[in-house]
Amino acid sequence: MIEPVVAEHDCELVDVEVARNRGMGLLRITVDNPNGDGRVAISRCVAISREIETLLDAADSMPGAYRLEVSSPGLDRVLGREKDFAAVINQQVKLQTRRPIEGRKRYRGRLISFESGVLKMRVDGLRGAERGAERAAGDEVLIPIEGVEKANLIYEFTSADFAEASPQRDSSQSGGV
């Protein structure tokens, strides 16, 4: 029901999350543009939200009161599609698996590659009992994409993120002549 509405607005469905928050239903929908760069105008999110809300109410798909959120992926973008993972190779990600892999469900580290449906990560933060005698920090782990329950990009800030933009002046701003 949701995906056709998103497609009509020239966007792609990235993730749908259904939860309960203080007894109220919550439907969180993440959409992206076909380029996958996370740039979706607020006005487009609002239009998608209004249309989905109308459909959900008409079909009585969400029992009781609920809150609907439609947003773009953002800095900590959700990684749900194969193309999302392919786009963040060599970047930091965090993910949770459906079942433990090598005794863990939560991973944080750099995505080294994504081939044939398998993520290869250099994982961070292995400590004590998690590490085991044969493991060392910075180990690589292979995770099948179908085993991923939830994944997000970890945005890495650079000095460019904090640089002040220097205003450009043209002749119309020079005050005369």
- How confident is the model at residue 63, as a pLDDT? 76
Distance CA 80, CA 22 (A): 26
For each of the domains in the chain, give its residue range(s) and CATH number, in order of start: 2-71 (3.30.300.70), 82-153 (2.30.30.180)
Confidence of residue 37 (pLDDT cuts 50, 70, 90): confident
How far from 23 is each of 62, 66, 71, 107, CA to CA, in Å? 13, 9, 22, 30
Distance CA 126, CA 169 (A): 51
For residue 152, give the nearest of 74, 72, 39, 76 by alpha carbon: 76
Q: Name the residue with higher pLDDT: 124 or 29.
A: 29
pTM of the model: 0.63
Q: Name the residue with higher pLDDT: 175 or 91.
A: 91
Q: Name the residue with higher pLDDT: 110 or 37.
A: 110
Q: Over range 127-149, report the average pLDDT.
A: 69
Average pLDDT over the chain, rounded to an integer: 83
Residue 135 in this model has a pLDDT that exceeds 50? no
For residue 63, give the nearest of 22, 26, 13, 29 by alpha carbon: 26
pLDDT in tens, 59-85: 888 778 889 999 998 888 888 888 889
Q: Residues with Cβ < 8 Å from 167, sequence gap 6 or more?
A: none
Residue 112 in this model has a pLDDT that exceeds 90? yes
